[in-house]
Amino acid sequence: MKLIILDRDGVINFDSDQFIKCPAEWQPIPGSLEAIARLNQANYRVVVATNQSGIGRGLFDMPTLNAIHDKMHKACALFGARIDAVFFCPHTADSHCDCRKPNTGMLEEIAARYSVSFSGVPVVGDSLRDLMPAAALGGQPYLVLTGKGMKTQANGGLPEGTIVMPDLAAVVEKLV
């Protein structure tokens, strides 16, 4: 089985410094949903791993997050795309949980759920905290320059072996 892990905000959809707090604020980045469809056609399992501290901050609740993800799934379906699972961390940075990226807990949970070794698994993100757990577990980090990606690249300190690409569509072009 081929597995790919995508961050959500800044990779699949436009990001916001004020958080994506309702379905109306979730807007796909052009080409991202078609890219997911191409991954599906190439027999990849597409899994989203996303920090959602807006829940812990009280900016939105679980039914709202579910509605946002429902919109994402329906938008994917319009392009023949499918996201197999969404894993998320609802905690704030000061909670010191294991699941919040850059910690490895969420990615370890995904590997366990799919019974795969993490070695070489592509992990696509727009921030250092998306890439660090991938590198720590032996995955292949991809930085996209959408979302916070350009700022992340400019700040440096990327994990060794990180591949930098313009967007998710370019990552998929390279993989398939």
Give the containing element (helix H, strand E) for 22.
Answer: none
Task: Retrieve residue 66's tokens.
Answer: 């579910």
Please tell me which residue in 9, 15, 126, 130 is annotated as part of the active site: 9
Identify whether 15 is a catalytic site residue. Answer: no
- Specify whether the CB–CB gap between 138 and 112 falls below 8 A: no
- Specify whether the CB–CB gap between 130 and 101 falls below 8 A: yes
Rg (CA), the chain: 15
Please tell me which residue in 7, 15, 126, 130 is annotated as part of the active site: 7
Q: What gap in Å lies between CA 103 and CA 99, rounded to an integer?
A: 6
- Specify whether the CB–CB gap between 84 and 41 falls below 8 A: no
* Cα 112 to chain centroid, rounded: 18
Collapsing DSSP to helix, strand or coil, 25 comes out as helix
Contacts of 150 (CB under 8 A, 6+ apart): none
Identify whether 61 is a catalytic site residue. Answer: no
DSSP for residue 72: H
Residues designated catalytic: 7, 9
